[in-house]
């Protein structure tokens, strides 16, 4: 794998500072932040296959145990040593064409699916632990294997709907919104106002937007198919660039 340097950018006629600004504006993170996320992902994957913390640290390329613990805690909200091997909830990484995702599932249902670089991920994991009253561990489960296989088919253009069983942690209103999101056909979009009107609550567009943002099952519950009433791409936790790519990709399902 090639290691790019500022000299390479200069040789291509690019200004390194401009490239850094454009990169952060587009991806919401710096080169170094994404590189660290990649290394933590490698550590997550090693832990999910049963490696010890020290082995996962070395696999991820961290020379210092404290640096690995800090980077891991910044992402997951807890130190790697606090993960329970016999935990009910298992977390694991899933690679996709739009970047790695973190999946959390028990033996029967999928609880969370988010892009690893989502800023709110640590808070979502904390809420999940609080709502379920269980600790988090690393490993694999049947729902995780199922959603990984379905994601491959989705990105290959062979599957528009997901069938994995879900645990939707939310209020009755939020769950109703998420059910409506799953009814939006791939290749189509809806506005917050349109969803609120379809639910018989035409004045609840903002509440729909909040419920949309509270979704913890990215892609499976397709909150990326909701846009502004003027057709603009509104906020998306996975990044607007991903939202645009997903909507472009889903046009083939029409």
In terms of domains, do 54 and 128 share one? yes
In this structure, are residues 166 and 107 in contact, taking their beta carbons and an 8 Å threshold? Answer: no
Please provide residue 185's backbone torsions phi and psi, each rounded to the nearest 5 degrees. -65, 145
In sequence order, the 6+-apart residues with CB closer than 8 A to the CB of 166 are: 109, 110, 217, 220, 221
Q: Are residues 242 and 136 in the same domain?
A: no
Give the whole-angstrom CA distance, residue 237 versus residue 250.
Answer: 19
pLDDT at 28 over 70: no
Domains of the chain: total: 2
The question of whether 22 is a catalytic residue gets the answer no
**Residue 37, token pair as written in the block:** 């996320």
CATH at 79: 3.30.160.70
Cα Rg, the chain, nearest whole Å: 19
Catalytic position from the list 46, 56, 223, 246: 223
Please tell me whether residues 17 and 139 are part of one structural domain: yes
Average pLDDT for the chain = 89
Predicted TM-score (pTM) of the model is: 0.85
Full domain range(s) for residue 19: 7-155
Give the residue, 55 or 147, on which the prediction is more confident.
Answer: 147
- The pLDDT tens digits of the residues spanning 174-190 come to 999 999 999 999 999 99
Among the three residues 101, 130, 155, which one is the final residue of a domain in this structure?
A: 155
Predicted pLDDT of residue 102: 93
From 122, 155, 188, give the residue that closes a domain.
155
Question: How high is the pLDDT of residue 82?
Answer: 82
| Integer CA distances (angstroms), 151 to 27, 155, 161, 162, 242, in order | 22, 6, 10, 8, 15
Are 24 and 138 found together in one domain? yes
Domain stops at, among 97, 120, 155: 155
């Amino acid at each position: 794998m090639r290691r790019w340097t500022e000299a390479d950018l200069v040789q291509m006629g690019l200004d390194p500072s401009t490239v850094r600004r454009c990169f952060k504006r587009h991806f919401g993170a710096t080169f170094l932040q994404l590189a660290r996320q990649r290394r933590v992902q490698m550590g997550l994957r090693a832990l999910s296959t049963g490696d010890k913390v020290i082995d996962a640290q070395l696999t991820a390329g961290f020379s210092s145990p404290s640096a690995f613990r800090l980077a891991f805690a910044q992402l997951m909200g807890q130190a790697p040593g606090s993960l329970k091997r016999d935990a009910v909830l298992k977390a694991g990484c899933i690679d996709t064409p739009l970047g790695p995702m973190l999946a959390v599932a028990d033996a029967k249902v999928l609880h969370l699916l988010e892009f690893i670089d989502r800023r709110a991920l640590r808070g979502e994991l904390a809420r999940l632990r609080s709502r379920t009253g269980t600790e988090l561990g690393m490993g694999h489960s049947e729902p995780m294997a199922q959603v990984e296989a379905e994601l491959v088919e989705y990105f290959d253009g062979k599957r528009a709907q997901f069938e994995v069983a879900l645990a939707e942690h939310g209020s009755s209103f939020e769950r109703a919104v998420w059910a409506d999101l799953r009814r939006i056909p791939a290749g189509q979009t809806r506005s917050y106002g349109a969803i609120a009107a379809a639910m018989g609550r035409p004045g609840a567009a903002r509440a729909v937007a909040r419920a949309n943002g509270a979704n913890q099952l990215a892609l499976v519950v397709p909150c990326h198919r909701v846009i502004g009433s003027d057709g603009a791409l509104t906020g998306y936790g996975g990044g607007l660039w991903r939202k645009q790519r997903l909507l472009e990709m889903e046009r083939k399902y029409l």
